Structure 1
Amino acid sequence: MRRASGFLSTILKSRLFPKTLLKPPGPQVPSLPHFPKCPSRSLHSDPSPLPPVLNPRQRKLKEKSNIEERFENATSTEEIISSFKELETTLDPFDKMLGLACLKVGQHLDSIGYEDHEQVLDFAMRALKILQIGEKNSISVAMALHLVGSACYNLNRFNDSLGFFNQANRIISALERDGNESFDIRPVSHAVNLQLANTKTAIGRREEALINLRKCLEIKESMYEPNSRELGIGYRDLAEAYAAVLNFKEALPLCLKALEIHRGKLGQNSVEVAHDRRLLGVIYTGLEKHDKALEENKQSQKVLKRWGMGSDLLSAEIDAANIQISLGKYEAAIQTLRSAVDKTEEGSETRAVVYISMAKALSSEGNASAESKRCLEAAQKILEEKEHESPESVSDAYVEIASIYEDSNEFDKAINILKRSLEIIETLPCQQHLECNVSAKVGWLLLLTGKVSEAVGYLESAVERMKESFGPKHFGVGYIYNNLGAAYMELERPQTAAQMFAQAKDVMEVSLGPHHADTIGTCQSLANAYSAMESYPLAINFQKQVIDAWSSHGPVALEELTEANRLYKELREKASRALSSTASPQVHDYDDNDDDDDDDASNIKAEKNADDLFKLLEKP
């Protein structure tokens, strides 16, 4: 947020306003009058003329002009606030110049990360109330709304923040449509869209945030030269955002474009190129192109070493070890990490991260479980001391430790440390996307260990938060619904399970495709759920879909296709037995009463099911 505020404040001061009091574009606030000296008072023989004698009105105007000049020239926070207080006494409460002065003070405090966010909000609201008088759709009102939104964001009032940023964005869009060429609103539009993205990310709407980040890049493309450094950073920022939501396919071309610009503009050995290559390593890892990832990492390390960037270089070395683990080069990874651990401070978070990666490499080898556990215990001991100091990074590290315990089939340890991570995440703002992932993992492990009732609560929480964070059709939503279906089947609630499986299937067909193995598996689960309910027409229908889907895979899925056909045959046999049972005569000896209507409805439903079964069983 501070980067956006500083960027906007700098540009506004340098480009958007005349010198006096940061006046807005369009109708200018009239300049204060300057009174000439009276000619007669200059006609004297003294070589050092005396200053003119001003009347009270002139003296008052002169004092006001001096106050304005002091405020205009103030640079430090103390100078700006003291000169503002002085200026405030000379202006009417609803003078537009006072509104602009409040805006300037608020922008300055926001850009330096002033800790009293309530005071920033006070200046912002005063500016907004004054500037809205008479012109609700001016650029100055948009900037005031932007400042109010920024202050609300820093106070963790994200919904309020989003509302103010959206209002500012609507004004800017209207001004863009009007095509006011006398004023460049692009810097303001960029700042508003950037903070819209930040706010949406904070409340978990990360997919929506990407739209605003795309807009930021488009604005930069129109503002800067095609191969400028700033534009390269814009491409990399958007690539990072896509990588954060695991959309590595979209991230890759953006990061390659950033690399192309920075390499051409700054040279092969620039720091920006090193950062681009490191991000490329992450993206290639996400795409499971580990050899390419390792090559980019090596190139990045060379540049970072040349520039003496020790902490970044150490992080790159740890990344390299993790890529080596993904490639199955465990001995090489262990050697890399042993070299890295000597460069870390005892008790530091970085050392804990090295221990975690070392444990991963050792456990992957399969012959050093005791040593792996010692590494994990050492890492946990360090992290427990850092929970209050760096809660976000500690919670991430706990998730990594839990995954190693899970791989070692130590599920209870994994669950306990994930729960601790979740406790930390729940106290942090802007971490809803992490909360849903950790909740989903806890729910899955509880389900795996037979603690089904407890698992349902975590999974239900996770699916709602994931829909908010990544959108309702994200593949992760499908997997959680699938796990919920499995949980309800364990609880002998097949009807609820079928609902969960149906939602999982809908999501997976969009995100993964109808012939993806996991989508087919969910369809199979639907068939099983309807079979458990003895709804054989539906069960047979979904089983046919399973057979068709596996058939499209060809010979590689012969085993799966054989099993699907076996289950189909089994379902037809069950349906046939159910049909025989339905067709047998039933004798009821009930008196006439109100239950007759219910009996009639049940008989109609049974007849319909029987008709459906007859039709299905007539087909091969």
Structure 2
Amino acid sequence: MFRVFKDMEACFDERELGIASLKIGFKLDREGEDPEKALSFADRALKVLDQDGKPSLLVAVALQLMGSVSYGLKRFNDSLGYLNKANRLLGRLEEEGVANVENIRPVLHAVQLELGNVKTAMGRRDEALLNFKKALEIKEMTLGKDSKELGVGYRDLAEAYVSVLNFKEALPFGLKALEIHRKGIGHNSVEVAHDRRILGVIYTGMEEHEKALEQNQLSQRVLKNWGLSSELLRVEIDAANMQIALGKYDEAINTLKGIVQQTEKDSEVPQAIPYLENAVEKLKDSFGSRHFGVGYIYKNLGAAYLELDRPQSATQIFAVAKDILDVSLGPHHADSIETCQNLSKAYSAMGSYTLAIEFQQRVIDAWEGHGPGTEELREARHALEELKTKARGTSTNRVPTKALPLPQYSLASRNSQPSIPLTKNSASSIRLEN
């Protein structure tokens, strides 16, 4: 492409080269691989096309491209300047009738969307909403009322309102998106699933939790059918939060347990971590910081950090989990022992073999209380010998740093264990490494 452009420079005039630069700039901006190169072509196009200073649609397009590329480079002030200039120029073209309105609208729509994105990135979300609304109005004028693309526009605006916590304004746009997609592409489409997810979030914000959970469950069903595990993860975490809001704590813990097991299976631990962090805060707020459910989620959050080779964070989280589970379930409960085992693994990964051996010995002591012939006891003793060998510096075999698989214990068996009264106190804050 660049070689062809080089050849063109020998025989094409400046205006033709400006238009060619514009096309190459758009292609590079779309691909996103070389934004600086895209900016150089956009800049050349703008300088050539704006030489006479006369307003034209091509100059507006070049300004829009400059704004888009600058946004991709995180040069938000530059981007805002180019886009505002493009917006003013397009308004002037429409007023003066210099260009056909049908040709102006697609460019104006792109400019309004970009303005919304830039202002959002700059923290000016309320201003951004005005641009997003204008972009949607242009779509309404140019697309059929049942267009799938228009449905996506309604959903995008609903999400923009959600981002500023204006759930009441978001609701009609979310419902319009669902109506269009359900009618046009069917109940089991991915677009309908996305519409229902955002409606679930909106109803949660409006504290209509039963409606929220209904939309969430319908969304989950479609995403499962399509095998979209990453998107399903997000919706399932939403469901756990809704269950907590409805006081369905056992269901919420079961939901979170399933999420953790599935993310381990699908190697999606990095995506799960922020959701687990959010979930544990919700659980603490709902039924106290010392309940076994909070300890259980901390245990799995620690396992996620261990999986990501962040053992220092893992040890901090596991220590909190162990403290909660030892009190609420007892130190000989399988979950408490597993947390102690994971502490040993985390300390081993940090090279702190003395502490790793100490916690591994506690694991052995706890499993001995379950009988002398258990498989878990044999594995724990073997792990202790490996740790001792490694501590002496003679072993070439690393102790695995992946957390043990989650035990398959029912909530009923957990609830039969001693527990402590529920409180509203928050657990101590934990500082994690980056």
Matches within 5 A, 1:319-468: 319-345=238-264, 348-353=269-274, 355-356=276-277, 359-360=280-281, 363=284, 364-366=286-288, 368-369=290-291, 372-373=294-295, 375-376=297-298, 378-379=300-301, 382-383=304-305, 408-410=425-427, 413=429, 416=431
Query: Is the aligned partner of 1:152 residue 2:77?
Result: no
Task: Answer whether contact 2:237 2:279 (CA < 8 A) is retained.
Answer: no
- Which residue of 242, 251, 274 maps to 2:193? 274
Aligned to 1:185: 104
SS at match of 1:133: coil
Pick closer, same or farther for the CA change 1:230–1:199 going to 2, 3 Å: same
Aligned to 1:301: 220
RMSD: 2.7
How many residues get paired? 319
CA distance in 2, matches of 1:371, 1:97: 67
- Which residue of 166, 189, 195 maps to 2:84? 166
Query: Is the aligned partner of 1:83 residue 2:1?
Result: no
Unpaired segments ≥5 residues, structure 1: 1-79, 389-400, 425-620
Query: Is the aligned partner of 1:203 residue 2:122?
Result: yes
TM-score (norm 2): 0.68
Aligned to 2:164: 245
The Cα offsets for residues 469-508 of structure 1, whole Å up to 9 and x where unpaired, read as xxxxxxxxxxxxxxxxxxxxxxxxxxxxxxxxxxxxxxxx
Pick closer, same or farther for the CA change 1:136–1:382 going to 2, 3 Å: farther
CA distance in 2, matches of 1:103, 1:205: 30
Task: Answer whether contact 1:352 1:378 (CA < 8 A) is retained.
Answer: no
The aligned amino acid for 2:190 is: V
CA distance in 2, matches of 1:387, 1:128: 48
How much has 1:323 moved relative to structure 2?
Answer: 0.3
Aligned to 1:194: 113
Aligned to 1:257: 176
CA distance in 2, matches of 1:243, 1:358: 19
How much has 1:185 moved relative to structure 2?
Answer: 1.2
Task: Answer whether contact 1:325 1:333 (CA < 8 A) is retained.
Answer: yes
Matches within 5 A, 1:110-121: 110-114=29-33, 116-121=34-39
- Percent identity of paired positions between Structure 1 and Structure 2: 51
CA distance in 1, matches of 2:6, 2:21: 10
Matches within 5 A, 1:462-501: none
Unpaired segments ≥5 residues, structure 2: 311-320, 322-422
CA distance in 2, matches of 1:347, 1:189: 39
CA distance in 1, matches of 2:81, 2:149: 29
CA distance in 1, matches of 2:231, 2:289: 32
CA distance in 2, matches of 1:132, 1:148: 13
Higher Cα radius of gyration = 1
The Cα offsets for residues 281-338 of structure 1, whole Å up to 9 and x where unpaired, read as 0000011110110011111112222222222223222211110001111011111222
TM-score (norm 1): 0.48
The aligned amino acid for 2:37 is: Q
Task: Answer whether contact 1:281 1:294 (CA < 8 A) is retained.
Answer: yes
CA distance in 1, matches of 2:181, 2:105: 23
The aligned amino acid for 2:104 is: I
How much has 1:120 moved relative to structure 2?
Answer: 1.2
How much has 1:343 moved relative to structure 2?
Answer: 1.1
Task: Answer whether contact 2:260 2:300 (CA < 8 A) is retained.
Answer: no
The Cα offsets for residues 401-435 of structure 1, whole Å up to 9 and x where unpaired, read as 9xxxx963345x16x56xx7xxx8xxxxxxxxxxx
Aligned to 1:124: 42
How much has 1:175 moved relative to structure 2?
Answer: 1.3
SS at match of 1:288: coil
Task: Answer whether contact 2:42 2:66 (CA < 8 A) is retained.
Answer: yes
Segments ≥4 residues shifted beyond 6 Å: 384-388
SS at match of 1:344: helix
CA distance in 1, matches of 2:255, 2:48: 61
The aligned amino acid for 1:91 is: F
